Every structure is written in C-alpha cells, then in structure tokens.
Chain A
Amino acid sequence: MIEARKALVVMAIEKTLLEVGRPTYYEVLAKLKENHNCYLSDCYENPEYLSNVLKELYGQSRLAIISSIEKYLAEMSTQEDIANFIIKISE
C-alpha cells in the first residue's frame, strides 16, 4: 500500500514538473541526484529535498509548483503519510 502511495506522489511530482517543461523536470531530477544523492521516489520520505531544489531554480515561486503537486494529491490527503508529505514539502 505504501508503494502505491509512493508511486502516486512520484506521478504527481512528474506531472507537475512536465507541465512546466521537460528541461525543468530533468533538471530537478539531476539536482536531486547531485545535491542530495537521491531519486524522485525518495522525495516521498524527504520532501524537503524537492523543495530545496525547486527553491534553487525558482526562488519563492517554488510554492506555486508545490501547490500544484498538492492539488494532484488532494484526494489522498486524508491518508496520514500523504498529509505529512504535503506539510513537509510546504515548509
């Protein structure tokens, strides 16, 4: 079940980033690897990594991207770990 939720979070992040643009998506993947030695799927446990990378690229405007990710996950936000993910990534 946790794997399914993880996949859902990854899908929400991917969809949001690809809506911005393909280079944004790949740059985020690469920065995650370089700065935090992690993959997109690891952001489920460490949402702050994604938040840091987005901040590096877009400054405070990362909040708009985070808000889009949250929208995709809205239906699942009653699940405790998804809710925690949303809280952590918004910090």
Chain B
Amino acid sequence: MHTGLERVSSQRFMLLLLASTGVAILIAEYIGKETAIVFTNWIFVPIPGAMLVLATISAKKHGITGDHGKAWISFLVFAASWFIAEQVWLIEELFYHQKPFPSEADFFYIIGYPAYFIFAILYMKPFKSLITKKMIIFASLVSIAVLIPSMYWTLESSSDEDSFSIILGAIYPVCDSIVLIPAVIGIRLFFGGQVNFLWSLMLIGILTEVIADTGFQYFSLDDSMYTGHPVDILFLWSYIFFAFGIYDNIEVFNSKMNAFKNKEELR
C-alpha cells in the first residue's frame, strides 16, 4: 500500500539522489576536466537506465489495454530513445573521441519528444471533456513565456556556431516548450488526486530540461561547454524527476492488489 509515509520516504530518497549526483559531478569537475568528462558520461548510464527500467515496468503493468496502457508504451519509446541517445553520446566522446554535439545522439533525443507528447495526450484522453480552452490557452502562455528567453539565449549565444548547430540547438527549446503544455494541463487537471505527483514531477523535469538546454547552448558559445559542466547536473536531474514520477505512479496503482488473492472476487 502506497501510504503517505512511503511517499515521504521516496521523496527524501529523491532529494538525497538529487543532492548526491549534483555534488558528485561538482567534485569530479573540481578534480579536473578529464575526470568530469569520464564520470559524467558514465553516470548517464544508470540514471536514464533507471528511468527506462521503470518505464518498462509501468508499460508491462498496464499492458496494451486502455488509454493509459497505450500512453505508457509511448513513454517507454521516449525513455528508450533518450537512453540510446545518452549511450551514443558516451560512445562518441569516450570511445571515438569525437565532439558529441551535433551527433547521431541528437536524432534519438529529438524523436523522444513526439513520443513523450503522445504519452501525455493519451494519458489525458479519458479526461479530455474537462480540458477547457482556458486551460490550453494558459498552458500555451506558460510555454511561450518559457520559450522566449530560452530561444533568445539560444540564438544569441549561437552566433559563432555553424547554421546546422544553431538550428539543432534551437529545436530543443521549441520541443521543450511544446511538451510543457500538456504537463501544465496535467497539473491543473489532476489537482488533489494521487496521480498529481507524477504530473508535478513531469513538469519540474521538463522545466529543468528547458534550463539545461538553454544553458547548454549558452555555454557552447565560447566552447566552454563540455560533458561534466555543472549544466549537466540539470540534465541528470530531469531524468531523476521523471524516474521518481513513474515510480510513484507505479506505487499508486500497485498499492493494494497484492493484498487480494482473487481479484475477480472484488467485482
């Protein structure tokens, strides 16, 4: 049973993980750039990997039945594509000693966005009758408010980069702001319900991603961006927020069924 106490304990664990991963990257950076590059590349294996495992568990648990079943399959595609992207980045940088941006990793990052968007739409489909125009307009305004400064810094700071890198760098804030819309709607829609925690963490995760993507472009200007830069802490944190959101959702829908041996008796 997913009690309030369990949720508090899982939130504490999340805060501990956020703090420890942040401190670990900062220590690695303090030791030296090479250490930071190696450590940060490798830490992007277990954290996005944990999100992928949790997404797999959630998709398996839901099966293909119902809108939420299809939604979690879509989320699994998102988690898998971003996990692959992180591993491509690692291989490019540590094994081929190539600059990982732009690279094949970007293809996997970008295809993850529509998968995430489809997840959000399918999750909210059973509740679509409650989504008002006002809610969509408000969420869009929030999204635009986030996009404008992000795009400004992205384009402003990209003046020395080649046009392909500028366009690629600009795609990320645009995609982030698009996926922000359903996250804002989700928070409003499920306010007061247990599933709201998932949507709160989805929103925080996306906002963290927006700041990280903007920071990435900003520091790419003078070539000061490298794997292990403090901006990478934000990328890592967004995976942690997503992972704990999924974990909480699994727990919400896992809480009591094990207590009953014969589910059909409950009808």
Contacts and interface: CB of A to CB of B under 8 A. Distances in A.
Interface of A: 10, 14, 18-24, 26-27, 29-34, 39-41, 55-65, 67-68
A77 B194 CA distance: 31
19 contacts: A10-B267, A20-B66, A22-B62, A22-B69, A23-B61, A23-B62, A23-B68, A23-B254, A24-B66, A27-B252, A29-B263, A33-B260, A56-B194, A57-B194, A59-B192, A59-B193, A59-B196, A61-B193, A65-B127
B44 interface: no
Contact of A58 (B63, B127, B129, B263): B127
B128 interface: yes
B195 A39 contact: no
B266 A40 contact: yes
- The interface residues of chain A, by DSSP majority, are classed as helix
9 closest pairs, A vs B, by CB?
A59-B193, A21-B68, A59-B192, A21-B66, A30-B256, A23-B253, A29-B266, A64-B127, A58-B193
Interface of B: 1, 61-63, 65-69, 126-130, 189-196, 252-257, 259-260, 263, 266-267
B246 to A, nearest CB: 13
Given A27-B257, A30-B255, A30-B260, A22 B267 contact: no
Which of A23, A24, A64 has the most chain B CB atoms inside 10 A of its CB? A23
Contacts of B263: 26, 29
Contacts of B193: 55-62
A39 B264 CA distance: 10
B195 A57 contact: yes
B67 A20 contact: yes
Given A23-B61, A27-B256, A60-B191, A65 B66 contact: no
A55 B192 contact: yes
Contacts of B65: 18, 21-22
Contact of B266 (A21, A33, A58, A61): A33
A29 B196 contact: no
Nearest to A30: B256
B265 to A, nearest CB: 8
Contacts of A30: 255-257, 259-260, 266
Contact of A39 (B63, B69, B191, B267): B267
Contacts of B266: 26, 29-30, 32-33, 39-40
A32 B190 CA distance: 20
B67 A60 contact: no
Which of B66, B195, B252 has the most chain A CB atoms inside 10 A of its CB? B66
A64 B129 contact: yes
Contacts of A23: 61-62, 68, 253-254
A27 B144 CA distance: 37
Contacts of B257: 26-27, 30
